[in-house]
Structure 1
Amino acid sequence: MPQAINTTHAIFFLIIGNLFASLSDVTVKLLDGGVSPFQYMFLRQLIAVILIWPFWRKVSTQQRRLSAPYLTLFRAHLVLIGSGCMMVSITYLPLATANAIFYAAPLLMLPLSIVLLKEYPSFGKVCATSIAFVGVLVVLRPSQYHWAALFALGTAVTLALFNIMARKLPKEQSVITTLFWTSLFSLPVAALLSVFHWQPISIREWLWIAASSLLILLYNGLAVLAYQRAPASQIALAEYTGLIFVVLFGVWWFNEIPDTLTAFGIILIILPLLPIKALRRTK
């Protein structure tokens, strides 16, 4: 029973986290290439450190300590690489096309969880993830091939690794501590890269970057909570819920009206997420 509760909570955290991540994609799209990727990476991480600092200072000295410095350093640079790739892909690709590739991350997490965590998903989980991935391709069907698609793939790979590695973080390490050190460790490299690509930024661009930083920070925190509570193979499907948010935001902000094929794709994604066993018990 406790494991079932943990899994339910983890799925809930991922759904809310993906809502925030989808909103972050929208803010990056609205930047419309006005800020260089390196400058964006540095400012986003700097704002994240500033936002977390007051919360980190309030926890005890013992809780502030970093238990896994090398793992945190690795995850920090995954965030850096992923954010840069994400900005490039969203800037040069339609939002739907970029997100179609982003949502390869949950699929990549299945083999990664086997290799890195020795977690073996059931055959049913593999089939369900495959069906959901087909739904992703149907709804957000890439209609063009572009060099920026490689950057979108880079985002998917780094996101999958970032979430998988959360399972290796010490459970006694708080989310605030994890987020603070992850953001802080990414600053030196980000600052160095941004120096050579610095340009003036308008107030509007500052606001979009700050919003993106806050939203991704919330996603990262919820992802840590989720993947520390349940095996990746059991909850990775919940990452696909962000697809629904992206479609809705596409209608709202960019006038992308879903057609019949899109609706069919959404059904393919939602079906594997339904608690079929629970439904059967209620009959």
Structure 2
Amino acid sequence: MTEANTRMGIWLMVATTFVFAIQDGISRHLAGEYNVLMVVMIRYWFFAAFVVAVAARASGGLKAAAQTSQPILQTFRGLLLAAEICVMVLAFTLLGLVESHAIFTSYPLLVAALSGPVLGERVGWRRWAAIGIGFVGVLIILQPGVAVFSPLALIPLTSAAMFALYALLTRYAARADSTATSFFWTGTVGGVAMTVVGLWFWEPMTPRDWLWMGSLCITGALGHWLLIKCYEVAEASAVQPFAYLQLVFASLIGLTIFGEVLEMNVVIGAAIVVGAGLFTLFRARQAPHD
């Protein structure tokens, strides 16, 4: 992998996090006006169409993309991600972008912690120490035992745990299925599931919000396309640290567009969580079993 490819991958990851942060901001607006399940359903319609279009153009077409020896695992992955998105969008409406993303950044630590029981990987004491320090950062954000602690703060933590499990199951599925197959099942299963649930919560939208919904769908597809291109040109371990920029971009949107407040405990806690997460990524790259 050349230095030029790595540099291009980094810029693609920065662009990906920026687009996904915009998507989160639009989701926060729409879910504040309409039912979360309906918003996620319409978003999934476009995502499923995007996934099918990508699969149809690939070698072997839809038949090759849909072929899997582990349909139960792939179905569960698709359902899990759809549910996780609903939980996270709900968190945006209840807590805002800043606090939700500050807590959600703990998911790489959860991935590291769960990689042993889920994938049978060995996690060394250094990474366990980083995981422990990272969750001290989460506690600083949550402030349990403090009078102002809100149980609502557990919602993005639940989302982080769900996404961590999804990420691990994706790695597990990759032992037998291609990335294209997992991507196809993620979009189609999620699209079907959200339609079955979301149609019961349909609400009429204003023309202006339909424009926002269109923007939400476009940013979702663009973000996934950029992410695919990112991993095509560079190694995941080289670009993954830059995924934390989504916290920065989403927080800026929360502060400037939605008038959210940046609390000092959130800043300190998020810094600890991100630092611990970067260390676990570094250790995983340098010494996989240390």
Give a deviation string over 1:163-218, Cα, whole Å, max 9, x none.
11111223685544432321111233322222221111223333333444444456
Give, in angstroms, the shift of residue 263 of structure 1.
5.6
Q: Aligned residue for 2:21?
A: 22
Cα separation, 2, equivalents of 1:266 and 1:101: 7
> 2:145 matched to 1:145?
no
2:255 alignment partner, one of 248, 251, 254: 251
- Between the two proteins, what is the percent identity of the paired residues? 25
Query: Alignment partner for residue 189 of structure 2, among 168, 185, 209?
Result: 185
TM-score, scaled to structure 2:
0.72
Matched-pair contact (CA < 8 Å) for 1:66–1:181: no
Report the CA distance between 1:257 and its aligned residue. Answer: 6.3
Bigger shift: residues 181-190 or 6-15: 6-15
Matching residue of 1:66 = 67
Q: Distance in 1 between matches of 2:103 and 2:95?
A: 11
Is contact 2:98–2:260 with CA below 8 Å preserved after alignment? no
Which runs of 5 or more structure 1 residues have no equivalent in the other structure? 278-283
How far residue 61 of structure 1 moved from its aligned partner, in angstroms, is 1.7
Query: Counterpart in 1 of 2:127?
Result: 125
**Given the superposition, is the C-alpha separation of residues 236 and 158 from structure 1 closer, same or farther in structure 2, using an over 3 Å criterion?**
farther
Rounded to whole Å, the distance in 1 between the matches of 2:90 and 2:270 is: 26
1:80: Cα distance to partner? 1.5
Q: How does 1:140-179 map to 2 (within 5 A)?
A: 144-146=149-151, 148-170=152-174, 173-179=177-183
State the Cα distance separating 1:43 from its structure 2 match.
0.8
Distance 1:140 1:251, change over 3 A: farther
Residue among 191, 200, 207 paired with 1:196? 200
RMSD, aligned α-carbons: 4.1
In the alignment, structure 2 segments of 5+ residues that lack a partner are: 284-290
Name the CA shift for 1:82/1:212 in 2 (closer, same or farther; >3 Å): farther
8 Å Cα contact 2:82-2:190 kept in structure 1: yes
Whether the 8 Å contact between 1:42 and 1:191 is mirrored in structure 2 is yes
Distance in 2 between residues matched to 1:139 and 1:11, nearest whole Å: 29
SS at the partner of 1:125? Answer: helix
Deviation at 1:230, TM superposition (A): 6.3
- Pairing 1:1-283 to 2, within 5 Å after superposition: 17-61=16-60, 63-67=64-68, 68-135=70-137, 144-146=149-151, 148-170=152-174, 173-217=177-221, 222=227, 240-256=244-260, 258=262, 264-265=268-269, 267-269=271-273, 271-272=275-276, 273=278
Check 1:65–1:157 CA distance in 2 against 1; reply closer, same or farther (3 A cut).
same
Q: Secondary structure at the match of 2:32?
A: coil
Report the number of matched residues: 270
- In the aligned structure 1, how far is the partner of 2:157 from the partner of 2:267? 25
User: What TM-score do you get using the length of structure 1 for normalisation?
Assistant: 0.73
